[in-house]
Structure 1
């Protein structure tokens, strides 16, 4: 079992809690015998070929063809404030840190057409051997103080307290002698040693954490260290550790709160044996139920069971219909084509055929067939030679018409589908017989060089409900399957118009106009690969894009469009003439040689 704990790339050089958690989770995974990696490097993660990925923060969506479990230990307002719901919805499973977080997941996944995993996971620490505190000194509070004013008056008022964290976050305490004790290394151990040496640890939470009953790392660290815990009214802490911890009423005014802390310290020092018994009880609860080793082992087992159940459900379905994935290729980039075909061979759905639509020479197609046979001997594949079909529109619709399967999809030769793509789409199509098309989310990947400035190597680029179909970026051509019987007659029978591009977008728009039922799987099941040297996904240039847009607009133009009857409105021919003249004038500014080319095209 290979596991990745994925950090936020933008935080690589910044101290943050997830960095500490990552190290602890690595240690837990290795203790359990797993091969583990902690990284924010997307290329390194890709080369590692993990079985499970844990994004440690909601800033990171699902980005790989790997079962992805999101760590739900941040309050809801933070997800809302950062508009990160798409990231969170993209996960295959959820490790939740509170009852309210579990209800949150149930709510936003309630309309999802496919199952998901949900299991407990807390921002905890590693199993330790109990060692009772040797002394009870000033209580220790450790925090990054990202909410600068949180408990500020209390910390200023408290007389007997030691605080650790980033210096710039605690500047207001530097003038108060002795309270601020400096930073602690993010090494997975130093925090526990600091608590243990003091004998008393403070676990104070942000109000948003308390509102949703989410514990921070602090209660687990204090329990693991063997120190006595003094906590606020966090529901998780009170429910789990009960009378084995002492509590502060943070609703009190800062002066009263500081007095309450002093009372607890006096009680601990005057009842040291009882205090050590309380610390021991907290430690036992932690080790038996909440250490990262216990949590991680349980969650990994849950993932294994979940995947096995999904596989068994698919295998138990009788008479599965066939699926064809059309792959358009000119044979020039064989390595990319083989990669695309390999992603088809890896499908967990058993009845999938690759249909290569080849637009090169006949001899080259024979060579290609032999190369594919050697590379992918187990692949179910057929070939169609598209003689003289040069434009993308003809290739697309000819390929669609040449299929025989009940369900059809597309895959460009330089893209890939994830291993469960067909299985996810087909599960929905088989459950809903009215559905014409099911699509998933797609990851945009830059390859063959460094990505453009400001871009990450991978990002969740296309992930939206049908409500956003007309406004948001299009559904990528490799992200969907369509039911053959729901394709309108004219698409499969009328003469095909020439289109340099936008042919796949047009297909979706024609289905949408025909009131076909689209369903969003809410799963990421494909990757849309962009070549850095081409600055995009294909060889499309501005002229091709303009031609494709004009052609698409003509095809989709309503038969009773009001402008046809308006006064002083030029007909289509004149509109096209005006567009052509604009292009000629633009060419004059850039390259005189293009003028003759445009004129020749016009007079043809």
Structure 2
């Protein structure tokens, strides 16, 4: 992709972590695998070009997909699947109306003619991450035709002299190796064939000017027709191997006719599927994504944002206020509630006077009651919408605009509150968030300081069980929903946000923006987040219950913390339920077993159990 960008005059940077993205400050981000969620403020496009069988059983990968701002999709069936997924979750985001395929660079036929050696050999490259795919076929071909096989040496130990080593994925080496051989075998897995999704190898092969022997993928037959040769991959290894051998013999016996086929295939590729021709369609699509995100806002409703100040240094306050000043929504007023003086605060706020509609400074007692400054701000709010930003957290530039858009949608007409997803950020060096796909054979640590912490559909039952999924800086409420009863300070030292949510739930269900636009800064070394103080939560539990009951919140009797024995029983039931559901659909059995095998191999048995446990709980 980088080479294609160079041809277009674009700067494309390959990144590993969210810090890499922030350092690059890109116009947009392309995520090529749904293992990775959106983790930064930049417009993030998810590429959906894998079969649904690979990711639909995994709730974590589905959640990652839902975090993206727009979608680049490989074919119509994936487009339909994604449209249904977004509709089911109430997410509105652009889906490409063009096919975004794992393609290759265009090539010129004049300088790419194969050499005049006596015969062509068969090229095949396979990572085979999902097991011993096509092993019987290559055993049947061994020694019968000239072959050069590339891939992981551990996967090809039995290829002997046909094995030619691994190739770098640099956009050039694979194409050069195919061109050297002159014939390429491109085989797709059963899931790819079932959903008619081509792999990159098909495009690399035709771009190299090779004669391509392909399985009967519907896409290949429709788009390239008789410019390719075909095998029936569903037949036995003996039958398929004989078909391959016959094709190779025919090619070497008829080099001019075969080359004409290859030239015709390359012409079709250059005209319709060259990577740079696909990428050139991105700028208009990115503009559509930016509008959908709220980066080009059209609404101008008034918004009050409360910031409680007194326990953090001025530098953190400046970071928080700066993130509000960067909001694309312009009609914002600040309600600064000060419970402890901070040197330099007045000068800091004076610098932002021209950015905000107004800045009001309100005094609050310094008595350790966290709810009081928040309720002082709520009572002072007069805008159409009101939100909160803790002084040590930040918001993405489209946060306010996206929530205003959400609350103005017809489906949210009765919603008292809209909320965003939350990205948790490790502020202290040396603390990293781990993911399954960060565990490879090299054993390297990926220094990733961000993770998608919350991105959930509204579930009142979870909220009533105190399973909170709305971060304190992630919401925007209608001021009209704050009645005189709601505006009574509950006098809570913690959980004041949960109390607010539960009382506002009495007015109606909340609505999600499905955009992770709030950042929750976490300090694992300093341990100064209130979540590190379980003793406070223990003290407030009974008081919180009394206040909620008095407010009319219908609490059940089973929300007390579970005993270890009950927790173990819940885990066992979830594992059994998850195992059954993972295996319940026969057509999904093979890809799910392959995924489980890969997870076991790369991440270990504990992660496999965790995956089944999460699947059982979420479904």
- Indicate whether the TM-score tops 0.5: yes
Aligned to 1:57, what secondary structure does the other structure show? coil
Residue 33 (str. 1) matches residue 9 (str. 2): yes
Of the three residues 109, 113, 135, the one matched with 1:132 is 113
Structure 2 residue ranges without an equivalent (≥5): 436-447, 561-619
Q: Which residue is equivalent to 2:20?
A: 44
Aligned to 1:167, what secondary structure does the other structure show? coil
Residue by residue over 1:489-538, the C-alpha shift from the partner in whole angstroms, topping out at 9 and shown as x without a partner, is 3122x3x23221110111111222x1522111222111111123233634
Aligned to 1:533, what secondary structure does the other structure show? coil
Change (3 A) 1:539 1:93: closer
Q: Which residue is equivalent to 1:509?
A: 502
Pairing 1:452-531 to 2, within 5 Å after superposition: 454=434, 456-467=448-459, 468-470=462-464, 472-492=467-487, 494=488, 496-512=489-505, 514-531=506-523
Change (3 A) 1:560 1:466: closer
Residue 402 (str. 1) matches residue 402 (str. 2): no
Q: Which residue is equivalent to 1:393?
A: 371
Aligned to 1:489, what secondary structure does the other structure show? coil
Pairing 1:9-28 to 2, within 5 Å after superposition: 25-28=1-4
1-structure distance, mates of 2:328, 2:6? 29
1:127 and 1:287 in contact (8 A); partners too: yes
2:549 and 2:555 in contact (8 A); partners too: no
Q: Following TM superposition, by how much is the alpha carbon of 1:435 offset from its aligned partner in structure 2, in angstroms? A: 1.4
Q: Following TM superposition, by how much is the alpha carbon of 1:376 offset from its aligned partner in structure 2, in angstroms? A: 7.1
Q: Following TM superposition, by how much is the alpha carbon of 1:473 offset from its aligned partner in structure 2, in angstroms? A: 4.0
Aligned to 1:168, what secondary structure does the other structure show? coil
RMSD (CA atoms): 2.7
2:394 and 2:520 in contact (8 A); partners too: yes
2:494 and 2:536 in contact (8 A); partners too: yes
Aligned to 1:36, what secondary structure does the other structure show? coil
Aligned to 1:325, what secondary structure does the other structure show? strand
Q: Following TM superposition, by how much is the alpha carbon of 1:378 offset from its aligned partner in structure 2, in angstroms? A: 2.5
Aligned to 2:171, what secondary structure does the other structure show? coil
2-structure distance, mates of 1:434, 1:562? 20
1-structure distance, mates of 2:553, 2:335? 39
Pairing 1:323-338 to 2, within 5 Å after superposition: 323-330=303-310, 332-338=312-318
Count of aligned pairs: 530
Pairing 1:196-215 to 2, within 5 Å after superposition: 196-215=179-198
1-structure distance, mates of 2:24, 2:76? 34
Q: Which residue is equivalent to 2:77?
A: 100
Q: Which residue is equivalent to 1:414?
A: 392
Change (3 A) 1:532 1:31: farther
1-structure distance, mates of 2:433, 2:53? 30
Residue by residue over 1:158-214, the C-alpha shift from the partner in whole angstroms, topping out at 9 and shown as x without a partner, is 22233211011122333xxx3322222333222111110111001101111111111
1:127 and 1:224 in contact (8 A); partners too: yes
1-structure distance, mates of 2:154, 2:358? 62
2:364 and 2:376 in contact (8 A); partners too: no
Aligned to 1:413, what secondary structure does the other structure show? coil
Q: Which residue is equivalent to 1:162?
A: 148
Deviates more, 1:545-554 or 1:244-253: 545-554
Change (3 A) 1:563 1:373: closer
Aligned to 1:354, what secondary structure does the other structure show? strand
2-structure distance, mates of 1:234, 1:208? 11
1:73 and 1:214 in contact (8 A); partners too: yes
**Larger relative contact order (CA 8 Å, sep ≥ 6):** 2
Change (3 A) 1:309 1:525: closer
Q: Which residue is equivalent to 1:424?
A: 402
Change (3 A) 1:501 1:179: same
Q: Following TM superposition, by how much is the alpha carbon of 1:311 offset from its aligned partner in structure 2, in angstroms? A: 6.5
2-structure distance, mates of 1:562, 1:219? 59
Change (3 A) 1:214 1:377: same
Change (3 A) 1:303 1:183: same
Q: Which residue is equivalent to 1:360?
A: 340
Of the three residues 221, 228, 250, the one matched with 1:267 is 250
Q: Which residue is equivalent to 1:110?
A: 87
Change (3 A) 1:462 1:284: same
1-structure distance, mates of 2:472, 2:433? 26
2-structure distance, mates of 1:561, 1:302? 45
Pairing 1:16-415 to 2, within 5 Å after superposition: 25-83=1-59, 84-113=61-90, 115-119=92-96, 120-130=99-109, 131-134=112-115, 135=117, 136-158=119-141, 159-160=144-145, 161-174=147-160, 178-307=161-290, 314-315=297-298, 320-330=300-310, 332-361=312-341, 364=342, 367-374=344-351, 377-390=354-367, 391-415=369-393
Change (3 A) 1:535 1:312: closer
Q: Following TM superposition, by how much is the alpha carbon of 1:480 offset from its aligned partner in structure 2, in angstroms? A: 1.1
Deviates more, 1:393-402 or 1:382-391: 382-391
Q: Following TM superposition, by how much is the alpha carbon of 1:283 offset from its aligned partner in structure 2, in angstroms? A: 1.5
2-structure distance, mates of 1:45, 1:440? 21
Change (3 A) 1:150 1:334: same
2-structure distance, mates of 1:27, 1:459? 30
2:301 and 2:331 in contact (8 A); partners too: yes
Structure 1 residue ranges without an equivalent (≥5): 1-24, 567-574, 576-604
Deviates more, 1:212-221 or 1:448-457: 448-457
1:113 and 1:428 in contact (8 A); partners too: no
Aligned to 2:133, what secondary structure does the other structure show? coil
2-structure distance, mates of 1:222, 1:558? 70
2-structure distance, mates of 1:561, 1:418? 32
Residue by residue over 1:435-479, the C-alpha shift from the partner in whole angstroms, topping out at 9 and shown as x without a partner, is 111111110011132215758410001111113545644310111
Residue by residue over 1:267-311, the C-alpha shift from the partner in whole angstroms, topping out at 9 and shown as x without a partner, is 222332222122112222222222221212212331124435777
Q: Following TM superposition, by how much is the alpha carbon of 1:381 offset from its aligned partner in structure 2, in angstroms? A: 4.2
2-structure distance, mates of 1:228, 1:532? 57
